[in-house]
């Protein structure tokens, strides 16, 4: 009998624990359907704002030596109202809508746009490292985090997930505020503030100067954060940051995650990475005698 890859985040049950992270390919229903067929358990949209945003001028993405990416796209998106129209025909794909804003009313407006759409969950982006007033500044304000989570919870019956990052406030305080307000899950972590300088031009490479570092360089930090959150809070965790192999995914699960997100790896391995990681997790489970994801979650805490 095959081990089950099914997992749950609040009331959301996924057939597979592998999720497309926000910011990667997250803007088209056709792509969502393709990724789901390729093995994704769910897809997270690009972070959507109340109004369309153009983002930053190029260059916005830079490949980091040794693996990983530095990006400052600027949360470019078509706006929640326009995006909601794009996914009204969705029937099968578990779509997690990522939302970004600076005040409660922003989120109130955006959630209402999706009343006629099949949405599986909302992920509140409280931790973008390179856009002022809507990213880490929001996540660093624990009272605002509580207000935003409570507001979204009052507007929907689907799970509400808070995505946290490493800002100036202890991220565990942000997690605590989200949990206190009723968050159904935590995504940890977002990209980390970083930059690169061109030694020939003697100028920062990204147009915004500061960007977010993703990919393999941040994996050990993300694993540590998942472990710490799992050790302190009884809340479903989605691990995110530097996952490129099934071993990476299992590491996050053992640290306390019930599901994982990845995106940077798609730049090298494209959509087949979902099936590869799913298969690797399942083979590992069967070799070790685990029948469900839940049996593995947080096992490293007991060692």
Catalytic residues: 128
242 is in an annotated binding site: yes
71 is in an annotated binding site: yes
Cα 67 to Cα 29: distance, rounded to the nearest angstrom: 29
126 is in an annotated binding site: no
189 is in an annotated binding site: yes
- Assign 3-class secondary structure to the chain: CCCECCEEECCEEECCCEEECCCCCCCCHHHHHHHHHHCCCEEECCCECCCCECCCCCCCEEECCCCCEEECCCCCECCHHHHHHHCCCCCCCCEEEEECCCCHHHHHHHHHHCCCCCCCEEEEECCCCCCCCCCHHHHCCHHHHHHHHHHHHHHCCCCEEEEECCCCCCHHHHHHHHHHCCCCEEEECCCEEECCEECCCCEECCCCCCEEEECHHHHHHHHHHHHHHHHHCCCCEEEECCCCCHHHHHHHHHHCCCEEEECCCHHHHCCHHHHHHHHHHHHHHHHHCCCEHHHCCCHHHHC
160 is in an annotated binding site: no
103 is in an annotated binding site: no
191 is in an annotated binding site: yes
190 is in an annotated binding site: yes
73 is in an annotated binding site: yes
Cα 27 to Cα 86: distance, rounded to the nearest angstrom: 9
4 is in an annotated binding site: no
72 is in an annotated binding site: yes
How far does the chain reach from its first CA to its final CA, in angstroms? 28
142 is in an annotated binding site: no
271 is in an annotated binding site: no
118 is in an annotated binding site: no
Binding residue ranges: 22, 46-47, 71-75, 125, 163, 189-191, 215, 241-242, 263-264
Binding-site positions for substrate: 46, 71-75, 125, 190-191
Known binding residues for FMN? 22, 46-47, 125, 163, 189, 215, 241-242, 263-264
């Amino acid at each position: 009998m095959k081990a089950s890859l099914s997992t749950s985040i609040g009331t959301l049950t996924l057939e597979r624990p592998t999720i497309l992270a926000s910011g990667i390919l997250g803007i088209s229903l056709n792509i969502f359907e393709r990724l789901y067929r390729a093995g994704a358990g769910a897809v997270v949209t690009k972070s959507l704002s109340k109004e369309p945003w153009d983002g930053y001028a190029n260059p916005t993405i830079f490949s980091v030596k040794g693996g990983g990416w530095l990006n400052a796209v600027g949360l470019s998106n078509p706006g929640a109202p326009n995006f909601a129209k794009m996914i009204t025909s969705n029937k099968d794909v578990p779509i997690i809508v990522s939302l970004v804003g600076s005040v409660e009313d922003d989120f109130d407006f955006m959630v209402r746009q999706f009343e006629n759409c099949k949405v599986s969950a909302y992920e509140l982006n409280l931790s973008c490292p390179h856009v002022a007033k809507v990213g880490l500044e929001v996540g660093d304000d624990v009272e605002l985090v509580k207000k935003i989570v409570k507001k979204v919870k009052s507007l929907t019956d689907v799970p509400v997930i808070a995505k946290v990052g490493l800002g100036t406030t202890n991220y565990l305080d942000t997690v605590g505020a989200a949990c206190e307000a009723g968050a159904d899950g935590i995504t940890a972590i977002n990209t980390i503030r970083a930059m690169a300088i061109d030694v020939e031009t003697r100028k920062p490479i990204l147009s915004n100067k500061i960007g977010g570092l993703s990919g393999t360089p941040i994996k050990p930090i993300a694993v540590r954060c998942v472990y710490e959150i799992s050790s302190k809070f009884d809340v479903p965790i989605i691990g995110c940051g530097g996952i490129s192999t099934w071993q990476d995914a299992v590491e996050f699960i053992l640290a306390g995650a019930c599901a994982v997100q990845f995106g940077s790896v798609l730049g090298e391995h494209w959509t087949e990475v979902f099936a590869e990681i799913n298969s690797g997790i399942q083979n590992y489970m069967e070799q070790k005698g685990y029948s469900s994801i839940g049996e593995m979650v947080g096992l490293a805490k007991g060692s």
